Amino acid sequence: MITYDQLRAIMPHAQPGLQNFVVPLDLAMCEWQINTPTRQAAFLAQLAHESGSFRYMQEIASGADYDGRRDLGNHEQEAIDIAAANGTTPGRFFKGHGPIQTTGYYNHRDCAKALRIDCLHNPTLITLPTDGCRAAGWYWSSRGCNVLADKGQFELLTRRINGGLNGLADRMAYWDRAMGALA
């Protein structure tokens, strides 16, 4: 079980409210078999980077750069229709949400199906601690990240989460703190 003190040690610059994630993180890690210190450290490091230590549950950028992205499904007619019904574009509507920054129509659709919540039509559901942590666990699991964490393949794991190596040094600093806090 993760404790508040461990989270604070991993994310020393987190804002008030971090305590709201302790139980949801614990439940999500249990649900998705993120159940060893190595897996938990890698998971928490990725979430800490992606969310700015749980400060940003929605991507700061507008999401306009994701408009029309085929790899994210933002070109699909349903994505266009859902976004239009909400007065925006698919990139903006399906920008990153939750602690892992679930991004794009395909990821929101697949998350909605896996978790049985309507984050396809209401992506902000996964900005809340419980559904957000579950969505992060689902994404992690669906990308085979437990195996990569077990093998210590942190760079490949980062590519699975982010698509590249953006912020690798920051992610590794979180990982080092998490390994120390969870040891």
Q: 89-98 burial, b if ≥16 CB within 10 A, otherwise e?
A: bbbbbbbbbb
CA distance 23 to 1: 9
Question: In 3-state terms, what secondary structure has residue 3?
Answer: coil
Question: In the 8-state DSSP scheme, what is residue 14?
Answer: P
Question: In the 8-state DSSP scheme, what is residue 57?
Answer: S
Catalytic-labelled residue, pool 50, 59, 76, 78: 50
Nearest-5° Cα angle at 127, 86 to 155: 115
CA distance 24 to 176: 23
For residue 181, give the nearest of 5, 1, 25, 16 by alpha carbon: 5
- 59 is known as an active-site residue: no
Query: In sequence order, what are the beta bridge partners of 58?
Result: 97
CA distance 133 to 7: 14
Residue positions annotated with a catalytic role: 50
